[in-house]
Amino acid sequence: MRVLRKPNLLLWYSRKNRLSFNALMGSLAQAKMEEKVNLFLATNPIELENYVRTLPDPLLLLFSSATPEREEKQRVLSAIKTLRPNLLLCGGGPHLSACPEDFADLTSLTVKGEGEAAILHIVQAFIEGELSSFPPLLTPSPVDLDAFLPFPHSLGIFGPIEITRGCPFQCAFCQTATLFGTTVRHRSIENILEAVRIMKTKNLLDLRFITPNALGYGSPDGRTPQLAVLTTLLAELRRLMGKKGRIFLGSFPSEIRPEFVSWEALQLLREYVDNDNLVIGAQSGSDRLLTRMHRQHQKADILKATELSLRAGFKAKVDFIFGCPGETEEDVEETIITILTLAEMGALIHAHTFMPLPGTRWARETGTPLSPRLKKVIGRLAQEGKLFGQWYTQERYTRKQSLPQ
């Protein structure tokens, strides 16, 4: 088999996709494959174009795209392909996993779903000059999280540790189950501790975790809390990190489903974590709409979770999505009452506007325009410092997408 000289691997490594690319680079580094390529990270389109102009062949560009980034990524990559028509492009991420055809004219290869195992085969084939033998679309099986470390520590890159992947709830607006499946997979405690030990050698003492539901760690089905397992994890982390280390769980980039919140769970968090806030995924104040979303919790769970969290001494940041498909005036009014109640309790509302995402139950649904009354309430709460979020930018994006082309 003919082995080419050391080739160039270029990653479009932006703020929005760096956590995903950390996992991919962790896979490459663990296999020591980064030693077989010249690895470059472009953090913006200008850097990307400069690398494409100057790096010699063979060159492989890896990129990912979420749905709101689709048009920008298509524009930038089209310009780059014009600049260098024979450039090899491999794409992945949420949008390409659901709609690979949107980038088919640009990519040499698309990975649909999880990429840690696939990237090893792709880069090895690239090194050996055999990437053309791959089919244009790869759909790898779900990975075992324990098979890969969560970041490429040998490259000096660290980040949050992903402890759970997959979600059984399949909420109508969410791509998580589409990307990662409905069967939850947890990184083992020992594997988590291994990553933390590596961080500790670099004097990195702040620990953050990626999970769709922080209180769901260890649950075999993702639906029933297993606080004994979570207790073991947190106790082992505290023992390892000591008093100087800080543990952040239940705050960004993780969150908590409201029906998982209990006084026992909150006391466990109070004992071990250092975050002063919890992110609670509410999404609506209307029970009817929550059922349509397939959230599988009710408004009472949201109010109870918030009240308990505040009573336990946490700040509560509560997520809501406005303008969902089929949202009625009654749904809007119930949601307004709910967010006003939560704000009065002392919670902070994190506001989003519905955006249809490919691969979800609501992928082809049209959002409901935000009513003047709702916008007035949102604006007042924002002025009072009781609401934050990208709801306005998201509303403009969604409105633009719905206009006739």
Q: Which residue(s) pair with 8 in the sheet?
A: 38, 59
What residue segments make up the domains of the chain, in order of their start? 8-138, 160-252, 276-405
Pairing of strands 164-165, 185-186: antiparallel
Domain 8-138 has CATH 1.25.40.390: no
Q: What is the pLDDT of residue 397?
A: 81
Q: What is the pLDDT of residue 269?
A: 98
Cα separation, 282 vs 115, in Å, equals 30
Pairing of strands 8-12, 59-64: parallel
Q: 276-405 has which CATH code? A: 3.30.750.200
Common-topology check for domains 160-252 and 276-405: yes
Q: What is the pLDDT of residue 402?
A: 62
Cα separation, 6 vs 218, in Å, equals 42
Q: Is residue 377 a contact partner of residue 343, using CB atoms and an 8 Å limit?
A: no
CB proximity list for 159: less than 8 A, separation 6 or greater:
18, 19, 22, 150, 151, 208
Q: What is the pLDDT of residue 396?
A: 85
For the record, the structure tokens of 217 come out as 């760690």
**Angle (nearest 5°) at CA 111 between 212 and 95:** 55
The top-level CATH class assigned to 160-252 is alpha beta
Q: What is the pLDDT along the chain (405 residues), one digit of tens a residue?
A: 444 478 999 999 998 899 999 999 999 999 999 899 999 999 999 999 999 999 999 999 999 999 999 999 999 999 999 999 999 999 999 999 999 999 999 999 999 999 999 999 999 999 999 999 999 999 999 999 999 999 999 999 999 999 999 999 999 999 999 899 999 999 999 999 999 999 999 999 999 999 999 999 999 999 999 999 999 999 999 999 998 999 999 999 999 999 999 999 999 999 999 999 999 999 999 999 999 999 999 999 999 999 999 999 999 999 999 999 999 999 999 999 999 999 999 999 999 999 999 999 999 999 999 999 999 999 999 999 999 999 989 998 887 776 444
**Angle (nearest 5°) at CA 114 between 350 and 64:** 65
105-141 pLDDT, tens digit per residue, is: 999 999 999 999 999 999 999 999 999 999 999 999 9
- C-alpha separations of 134 from 73, 125, 137, 401 in Å: 23, 9, 8, 34
3-class DSSP assignment, residue 211: strand
